Structure 1
Amino acid sequence: MPTPDFIREIRASAGHQLLWLPGVSAVVFDDEGRVLLGQRADNHRWALISGIPDPGEQPAAALVREVQEETGVRVAVERLITVRSGRQVTYPNGDTCQFMDLCFRCHVIDGEARVNDDESLAVGWFTLDELPEMTDYHYFRIKQALSDEPTWFEPMSSE
């Protein structure tokens, strides 16, 4: 995902030090129960659609914007399914960050899934038994979106 301008401005004074950033991701279902995925341009891996909220933007609104910007699909947010702090990541340029991901279950309103910006190589709908190779956390979020369980969060350590 391209770096938003407001993060570039922070980096100008913060350098490469660790930034704690909000992130949003979507498990989007269509009327046939298929899941919307994008093949990322940065690492060529299939993934749930995700992004970074702009300053002052509500997470659900950011997610609706990100899905439409990246895929051309308009969605309605149904519920929050997971909250998770990811691992610390260091990018090739030396920038370090850690994301707090809020993942929402969504359903499609309209639009044709397509590559709609430079963040994706491909975009498509996948049945649950034909999901491409992804990280375990992508599969976990899809499983949580299909369940009636309350919002999942990482349990606190007993330290």
Structure 2
Amino acid sequence: MSEYYQKLREKVGNELIFMPSVAGIVRNKAGDVLLQNKGNGEKWSLPAGAIELGEAPAEAVVREVWEETGLLVVPKKLLGVFGEKDYRYQYPNGHQVEYNIFMFDCEIQSGELNPIDNETAELRYFSPDLMPELALPYPKHLFSLEGNAELYFQWDEQWLTRIFK
């Protein structure tokens, strides 16, 4: 946890906070998606994490993927933007967050699967059709190479009728 979030948590405790974040879809040559298991009972996840102060989302995804996987990637495309109550999460320590996530399609430039930080217990590639349930409810079609042609905006179109009646 960065110094910024440590100081914030000192003030708000476990209360729900917004957390601008990134997630990276990293594929091997076969098109399988790299997932992370933290080994603490949480579900599998994409390499992901918080955007730090002074950091652009694309920079954050490069840093997070590096820290959690040992791979140097380049973000090639913004795949989706996510948030709201479906992207709330409670960590095992009780900290509650509501993520606002920028999801990037990333290309491996170099490196080997060898996490730099202590947040990763296991890294494994999964076929998009055989992925385990993830900690966050990303749309499944974004994991296939064919399913991510357009930028995905997560929203409820019925929201318009509720707000603008």
Match of 1:100 in 2: 100
Alpha-carbon distance, 1:84 to partner: 0.9
Match of 1:5 in 2: 3
> Percent identity over the alignment?
29
CA distance, structure 2, for counterparts of residue 144 and residue 52 of structure 1: 25
Q: Which ranges of structure 1 fall in alignment gaps of 5 or more residues?
A: none
Contact 1:44 1:121 in 2 (8 A): no
CA distance, structure 2, for counterparts of residue 110 and residue 94 of structure 1: 36
The two structures have a TM-score, normalised by structure 1, of 0.83
User: Is 1:127 aligned to residue 107 of structure 2?
Assistant: no
Equivalent pairs, count: 157
Alpha-carbon distance, 1:81 to partner: 0.8
The two structures have a TM-score, normalised by structure 2, of 0.80
User: Is 1:155 aligned to residue 132 of structure 2?
Assistant: no
* Aligned ranges 1:43-122 → 2 under 5 Å: 43-87=41-85, 88-91=88-91, 93-122=93-122
The one-letter code sitting in structure 1 at the alignment partner of 2:28 is D
CA distance, structure 2, for counterparts of residue 116 and residue 12 of structure 1: 26
Q: Which ranges of structure 2 fall in alignment gaps of 5 or more residues?
A: none
User: Is 1:137 aligned to residue 135 of structure 2?
Assistant: no
Alpha-carbon distance, 1:124 to partner: 2.1
CA distance, structure 2, for counterparts of residue 91 and residue 131 of structure 1: 22
Q: Secondary structure at the match of 1:64?
A: helix
Q: Secondary structure at the match of 1:70?
A: helix
Cα gap change, 1:43 to 1:86, in 2 (>3 Å): farther
